[in-house]
Every structure is written in C-alpha cells, then in structure tokens.
Amino acid sequence: MTGKNSQSNLLSGSPKQSIRLVLHDGTTFVGQSFGFNQSAAGEVVFNTAMSGYPESLTDPSYRGQILVLTYPMVGNYGVPPMVRERDVLKYFESENIHIKGLVVSEYSAEASHWNSWKTLSQWLIENKIPAISGVDTRALTAYIREKGVMAGKILVGNEGLEFEDTDSINLVEQVSTKEVITYGSGKYRIVMVDCGVKTNIIRRLLLRDTTVIRVPWDYNFMDLEYDGLFISNGPGDPKMLKSTIEHLSKAINDDKPIFGICLGNQLLALAAGGNTYKLKYGHRSHNQPVRMLTSNLCYITSQNHGFATDMKTLDDNWEELFVNLNDQTNEGIRHKSKPIFSTQFHPEASSGPTDTDFLFDDFVELIKNSKR
C-alpha cells in the first residue's frame, strides 16, 4: 500500500489522467473518470455486495460518503426507469443519489438488462456525481479495514478541495422530509419518523393494511393519533438528533408498539438511556450473518451503518434481540415488557436478502394485539 502523498503501484490507470482518490492520510489512488467531472469530499466507506448499486446510491444512509464497491465489475446491468408504484419510486430507495462519489475497479460502459433505462455513467453525470474506475478496490478496502474509515476526496484536475468531517454534520436534516406525507389508506395508522427512510420500508408497510404518516426527523409526533411508531434508517451520528431522542424517550413510556431499523435501533437505545459508538469500518453488505437470540436462528442480512449500540449501557428493561456473528456487535434490541423492538440490519433489504421480512409482520401483529 502506498505511503503518504504517493501513488499506489497496485492500481491500474495512467498517472497522466487527472482524477484521483486522496485519503485523509495522503494515500492516493489514480484512475479514470466515468462520472461528473467535479471534485467532491466525504467519508470513504466500502460495500461488499455483489449487486444493487441503484438501490445503494439512492439510499439516504450513504449521505456524505464516497462509496467504494468491491465487486470487480460495476455497471453491466445499467439503471432502471424512474417509475412509481403506490406513490413511491419502484426501483430506487429515494428520489436522489446521496453518495458524494463512487469508486469501482472496472466500469462496464455497455449495459444489458431488460429493465435498463440508461447507463450508470449517464445517471451519475446527470446527477453531478463524480466517479473513478481503475482502482484496486479490494486493496483499498483492506486498507480501510486496517486503518478505519476516514475522510477522503475525489479530485478532478488540479482543483483544490478541503476534507470534510461528516461526523460534525447533521446529515439527517439534509435527507429527511420537510413536510408530513401520508401514504395509503389502510386500517392501521403508523407514524414514520423519517431520518432518511428507504422507499422499500414504505412499500413493505403498505402491503400490510397500513396508513403511513411520514414526518420530519424533529417533528413532535406525540400530538398525532397513531397505532404504531416507526423510526427509520438514516446517515450520520445518532447523538446529533437530540429532538428525535427527546420525542422517542416520551413515546417509550406509552404502550404503543415501536419498531426501529438501523439508525432507528441506535436512536431507540439512546432514548432508553443507553449509548452508541462508531465502528472502525462499519457494516455495508448483503451477507452479514445475525443470530436471533430468542430463537437461536441465524439470518443473512443487508446492512449499511457506521455506528452501533453499546448493549452494556442499557438497563434491565431491555434485552438483546439480535447479535452480529462476525464481530458480536449488537444487531437489535427489545423491551422486556412493552411492544418495542428494533434491528440494526435492514429487513426490507432492497437490495439484498429478504430473510427477515417477517419482522414487518411481527410489528403489525403487535399493533393488532395492542388494539384488542
């Protein structure tokens, strides 16, 4: 691996080409541009999934990050059309691309798929997202695993750009809805606190006879009438969301069902008086094994997070629901006497395995039971 302010000899691509990825410690990767010709700064993270880049790039949890994809070739199946179903986009996880930049080993300029609408390069350029190919992404990933995630920047030409500390930015405020939006007309009313919700979570809830009321991250939902409360995924440090934590701590005192996913798991822990911490390089993939402690069954899950819950800081009212089998970090909690639970992984997948989709059924069943 390269030293400070030097170029890796593991990388393909000519040093004459003026696009490069520069890490905060000075390590530099040179490659070719296939996105928008503009520099960008963010936190460099990696995802080991084999597919699903349209979903990942539009996942609000990636806000502020330069995404490294470890799969060798990217772009061969193009980008699907922006069609809607149940008032939300059918093939994407939000209305926009949220990454700051994309890093791949080999970009496929030709796309072939029955649902391909345009190439990945065209999509990135239209959305003004820089992208670099010709990088040994597995060597880069190994480096991040050793050193930890760090700030980085994609530089086009000789353009100067400062590094960005994403942990000091309220990224949730950037991706959350600015207004209350209602989806569906089902029997069970669910308030969804939008911290950067993925569209497929809305889809999965609407399939279960629900009405989803999506509210901003800092909205005082305690004044609303609802049957269940959902806390969404989202980007950044959960401790920055003081308003959400305050509202959620009050909701815990009620007996209404609560379900949280990803950032929602961390926020629930903080609202319960627990603590969270940043992982060295996070979990971002489709192949994370978790064990459900109540059944001892193992599931393969889709994940995208950089922070985790410290289970040791929660009081005796809470118990661990899931644990990660790779590093033993927390993957979910639940209240021992109230209908409240959360997962650190993504049961809605999109993309990834759908092994744990049954958790949406469990949530709705808790709501039904609470109304009997």
Read off the tokens for 275: 């603590």
Cα distance between residue 16 and residue 55, in whole Å: 33
Catalytic residue among 262, 283, 305, 335: 262
Token pair of 203 as six digits: 């889809």
In this structure, what are the phi and psi dihedrals at residue 180, rounded to the nearest 5 degrees? -80, 130
Catalytic residue among 43, 93, 331, 348: 348
Catalytic-role residue among 283, 305, 335, 346: 346
| Nearest alpha carbon to residue 106 among 12, 204, 236 | 12
For residues 256 and 228, is the Cβ–Cβ distance under 8 A?
yes
Rounded to whole angstroms, how far apart are CA atoms 15 and 30? 6
Instruction: Select from 114, 135, 112, 133 the least CA-distant residue to 124.
Output: 133
Helix (H) or strand (E) segment spanning residue 267: helix 263-271
> Tokens 């509202």 correspond to what residue?
247
Is position 348 annotated as part of the catalytic site? yes
* Beta carbons of 157 and 33 less than 8 angstroms apart: no
C-alpha Rg value of the chain to the nearest Å: 21
Burial of 51 (0-12, 13-18, 19+ CB in 10 A): middle
Residue 77 DSSP one-character state? T
The total of other beta-carbon atoms located within 10 Å of residue 204's CB is 21
Nearest to 193 by CA among 247, 133, 113, 135: 247
User: 22 - beta bridge partners?
Assistant: 28, 153
Q: Is 346 a catalytic residue?
A: yes
Task: Identify whether the C-beta of residue 219 lies closer than 8 Å to the C-beta of residue 232.
Answer: no
> Which uninterrupted H or E stretch holds 23?
strand 19-23
Ramachandran angles phi, psi of 229, nearest 5°:
-120, 130
Q: Identify the residue whose tokens are 């070719």.
A: 32
The catalytic site residues sit at: 262, 346, 348
